[in-house]
Amino acid sequence: MKFLQQFSDELESLVAKAMPAVVAVQHSQGHGTGLFLTPDGYVLTNRHVVRSRGRLTLELHDGSEVRAELVGADAPTDLAVVRAEEGAKFPTLPLADPHDVRVGQWVMAIGNPFRLEQSVSMGVVSAINRTLPLPDGVILEGLLQTDAAINPGNSGGPLLNMHGQVVGLNTLVLPYAQGIGFAVSATTAAWVASLLIQRGKVERRFLGIAATAINLPAQRAQEVGQLRAVRVMKVGQGTPAADAGLEADDLLLGIDERPVTNVDDVQRMLALATGPEVRLEVLRKGRRRTLRARTASREHSKAA
């Protein structure tokens, strides 16, 4: 009983600290949730929450309201950033280190499901690196799966670990299932939000491959110095990948001397690349190779 009481007290404290950084996002066509990223009013939410370009209102923890404007949105990740038009020194929530997110961890979702403000639900991280196609053709990658209750209105709200850190941004739930919800990982949210704040959009570049993340066998992982890699499933004809000499079944280990462990990493490295050419570290039939690819721009990418 003492353990349960201690856990309950710690949970209550965590909720009390996190709530002020969570806001209700409202507009003429719907509502959702968001969280303050910066003290000067930048709020992270889902793109589908703010798809309308009409007036946006943020309802704060104390019940007060402030107007907000859309800074930018990114369809391939269903993320958006809005900014409060007044006020400063807003409370924020820290983002979790991706290496600290593991299956089985307790997590908490905070949001406004069905306009039930500041609702809290508990669950665990059920899986990581899920891929989910959406009806409009967008493919969400690198998702966290959770059994914490997520309903309409939770979208854009934080999924927190027991340290009060954001592990993901609650995004959707399978309508035909129970206890299967998904969140965009905090890693993805961080780099997309930074580009939206800086540029107002995410300018994507692509290689022209279909790929999937895999776990490397223990011996191979020790040899290459990482546990996961990205397997190239298909190379499109006439694409930058084909011109660079990339082949199906190649294992992509890194881009521009930074390791890649999933398809989201590939997208992130391409988006952050400063020039048209990138350096690819590839493992082919047990031998490492270095290839150079001149990437192409594409507004809306479903693959790397």
Catalytic residue among 31, 48, 74, 121: 48
Alpha helix locations (H) across the chain? Answer: 2-18, 186-199, 218-224, 240-244, 263-272
Catalytic residue among 74, 78, 250, 264: 78
Contact 44, 156 (CB under 8 A): yes
* Phi and psi angles of residue 187, each rounded to the nearest 5 degrees, phi first: -60, -50
- Tell me the longest C-alpha to C-alpha distance in the chain: 65
62 catalytic per annotation: no
Catalytic residue among 119, 121, 126, 155: 155
Q: How far is CA 254 from CA 66, 96, 278, 296, in A?
A: 43, 23, 10, 18
78 catalytic per annotation: yes
Closest to 282 measured CA to CA, from 230, 227, 216, 207: 230
Q: Give one DSSP letter per residue of 1-69, joined into a string.
A: -HHHHHHHHHHHHHHHHHGGGEEEEEETTEEEEEEE-STTSEEEEEGGGS-S-S-EEEE-TTS-EEEEE
Count of alpha carbons within 13 angstroms of residue 281, beta-carbon side: 14
Residues annotated as part of the active site: 48, 78, 155
